[in-house]
Amino acid sequence: MVRVLLKNVKNYALHDVTVEFSPKELSVIIGPNGSGKTTLLKVIAGLVPYEGDVFFNSKNVNNLPPYKRNVLYIPQKSSLFSHMKVWDNVAFCLEVRKANKSLINERVKWALEKLSIRHLSERYPAQLSSGEAKRVAIARALVCEGNPLLLDELESYLDVNLRVNIYEETLKIARELDLTVIVVTHDLDWAMSRADKLVFLWSGRVLYSNSPGKLDSSLLEPEALAWLGSVIEVSEVDRVRCNVIVGEQSIPLYLCVEEDFNVKRVYIPPDSAWIDQHGKIQGRIVNKVRFNGIEKFLVNTDVGLIVARSIQSSLTIGEKVGVRIFRAIPLVEK
């Protein structure tokens, strides 16, 4: 397994980034468009210029070209060779390395079966659905037997259920192969519920790098918090009804919680909390932020700082309001 360390990395998109990605942890990078997520992956893979240092375990890889870093990088677009059938696309890496035919056949069959796409081996990329193309791209990377595995927004062009399935299948294979996995995603619900380490990039800077459950919303700058959403304390978990109690409000959970997991905090997506005169969570507005044309309010409550929206435009800082929350993602203490 490979421990990846970026130390004081900077370039056109990143500003003095120091972050570590550990083996046996699912590291998930989040942040708005333009925050540097894809660039960070490309730095690790050696695909863009940068200053600073990148280490794989204790080895500095700055002077290694991409093909010698042996990184498995799956970009947002599948980038399959349109003139090659699925089998040849998956075999490409091994063909370039001039591996013997028996090894190529063995590895390609293994990858196609692992991704449940053996039946597609004679098709061309134009004959594949978006989900099938993603699976082929993953299989093509996995046959190369590198480490770490970098996944850049696998959810692009996929519906929710399909992308979750592809993520989970890929992570299962990665665990079997002892790969260090680093994921870039815009799916905040999935990131907060699945990440062992959450890396929050904002304008090329690392605002947060730790487990989702340790995130302190009050330490984030207002605009970043307005984009991300809130982490708040819960007083009770009702596993039968699949909800949590926050103050006096019962909130449905995005995922039900298994008996052996402990939940003390939940993540509230930025579109799931609304200011409501009948809301049972009481607090005061401490800031207003307009992000992507939408005004959001930061409300200080007894259970934490909550990002909330409102249909009213006349609310002022210092005003006492009620908040109603419609959905929560459990932050499980593993």
Residue 114 lies in a domain: yes
49 plus 173 within the same structural domain: yes
Q: Are residues 58 and 172 in the same domain?
A: yes
pLDDT digit string (tens) for 126-168? 999 888 898 999 999 999 889 999 999 877 666 767 777 888 8
Strand bridging mode 26-30 / 181-184: parallel
CATH code of residue 84: 3.40.50.300
Tell me, yes or no, whether 15 and 130 share the same domain: yes
Position 68 confidence tier, pLDDT thresholds 50, 70, 90: very high
Is residue 286, in this structure, part of any structural domain at all?
A: yes
58 domain residue, yes or no: yes
Measure Cα distances from 150 to 71, 75, 128, 140, 221 in Å.
8, 8, 23, 13, 28
d(CA 128, CA 136): 9
Tell me the average pLDDT across 3-15: 97
Half-sphere exposure of 1 (CA within 13 A, CB side): 16
The answer on 259 and 319 residing in a single domain is yes
Length of the chain equals: 334
For the chain, how many structural domains are there in total? 2
pLDDT digits (tens, 9 = 90+) for 95-131: 988 899 999 999 999 999 999 999 999 999 999 988 8
Same domain, 153 and 233: no
Q: Are residues 101 and 87 in contact, defined by beta-carbon separation less than 8 angstroms?
A: no
Average pLDDT over residues 262-279: 91
Last residue of a domain, one of 158, 183, 207: 207
Indicate whether 76 and 191 sit together in one domain.
yes
Mean per-residue pLDDT of the chain: 91
pTM (two decimals): 0.92
Same domain, 198 and 63: yes
Give yes or no: residues 196 and 239 share one domain: no
Contact (Cβ atoms closer than 8 angstroms) between residue 299 and residue 318: no
Point out the domain boundary residue: 150, 180, 207. 207
Considering the domain architecture, whether residues 199 and 180 belong to the same structural domain is answered as yes
**Residue at 213 is within a domain:** no
The rounded distance, in Å, linking the Cα atoms of 262 and 280 is 24
127 and 237 in a single domain? The answer is: no
Instruction: Please provide residue 53's backbone torsions phi and psi, each rounded to the nearest 5 degrees.
Output: -135, 145
Domain boundary among 162, 183, 207: 207
Q: Is 195 helix (H, G, I), strand (E, B) or coil?
A: coil
Boundaries of domain holding 311 = 218-333
Q: Does any domain span residue 234? A: yes
Q: Is residue 212 part of a domain?
A: no
Q: Is residue 105 part of a domain?
A: yes
- In percent, the amount of the chain with pLDDT more than 70 equals 96
Residue 291 token pair:
């992000």
What pLDDT was estimated at residue 260? 58
**236 & 161 share domain:** no
d(C-alpha 334, C-alpha 211), whole Å: 10
223 and 195 together in one domain? no
For residue 22, being part of any structural domain is answered with: yes
Residue keyed to tokens 């089998």: 87
